[in-house]
Amino acid sequence: MLGVGDASLPRFYYDVLEDGCLPFNYTGIGGNENNFATRAQCQISCPGYRNYCPHGKPHIVEGKMTQCGIDTSCPSHYVCHVSKRNSRNICCPDPAEFCTLEREPGPCTGNVTRYGYDPSADVCRKFS
């Protein structure tokens, strides 16, 4: 929530879908607790989903990580991983799945060197 005042104060909020702290202009009155004066304060308060999974982001439903265990399995293309953070069992992307995806350079025109796995040669290859 941006608030109901007339001010335009630069602030940061944690965005679940982006898994990061993004800027916004706070109007000075109202709003909620997801409102930080600096990006650093936001990142400390909302560490997000980083470092839970060794490969990619955890499975998320309605803003919450999917937990797993002996009685609860993970959805397709995810494996149950014991996270180093808080020793929780979290559904993480199965590396066998995303290593077989085609390399995707993306829609932008920038020439950024990236690497993708080539399963036929069993090596990572450079592309841009």
CA 15-40-20 angle, to 5 degrees, is 20
The sign one gets for the Cα dihedral 23, 25, 28, 32 is: negative
CA dihedral (123, 98, 47, 75) in degrees, to 10, reads: -150
Q: What is the pLDDT of residues 5-14, one digit of tens each?
A: 788 899 999 8
DSSP H/E element including 44: helix 39-45
| 9-45: CATH architecture | Irregular (4.10)
Q: What is the pLDDT of residues 49-93, one digit of tens each?
A: 777 888 888 898 887 889 998 889 999 989 999 866 566 788 999
Q: What is the pLDDT of residues 99-123, one digit of tens each?
A: 777 777 777 767 777 887 777 787 8
pTM for this prediction:
0.51
Indicate the domain borders of the chain.
9-45, 60-93, 103-128
